[in-house]
């Protein structure tokens, strides 16, 4: 039986002090952490503390919006 994907938010310290974020879909928190670590490593962000939090949705909502306006 296939499990449902869950949505997670990963909080991390960015490369530069600018707006940033990482939202991902995974089967569980461990997989989300592994995916986040890999994505950050590929972007040159290492040795950072990452906090993973499941986003639980009960209605349509905007999960992440960054306009790019500084």
pLDDT in tens, 7-44: 999 999 888 888 888 999 999 999 999 999 999 999 88
Do 32 and 8 form a contact (C-beta atoms < 8 A)? yes
What's the residue count for the chain? 70
Task: Report the alpha-carbon distance of residue 39 to residue 32 in Å, rounded.
Answer: 10
pTM of the model: 0.84
Nearest Cα to 63, choosing from 13, 7, 19? 7
Q: For residue 69, what pLDDT band results from cuts at 50, 70 and 90?
A: confident
Distance of CA 58 to the CA centre of its chain: 19
Enumerate the domain spans of the chain. 26-60
């Amino acid at each position: 039986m296939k499990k449902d994907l869950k949505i997670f938010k990963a909080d991390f310290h960015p490369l530069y002090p600018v707006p940033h974020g990482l939202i991902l879909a995974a089967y569980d928190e461990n997989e989300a952490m592994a995916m986040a670590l890999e994505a950050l490593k590929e972007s040159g962000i290492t040795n950072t503390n990452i906090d993973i939090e499941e986003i639980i949705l009960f209605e349509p909502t905007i999960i992440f919006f960054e306009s790019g306006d500084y």
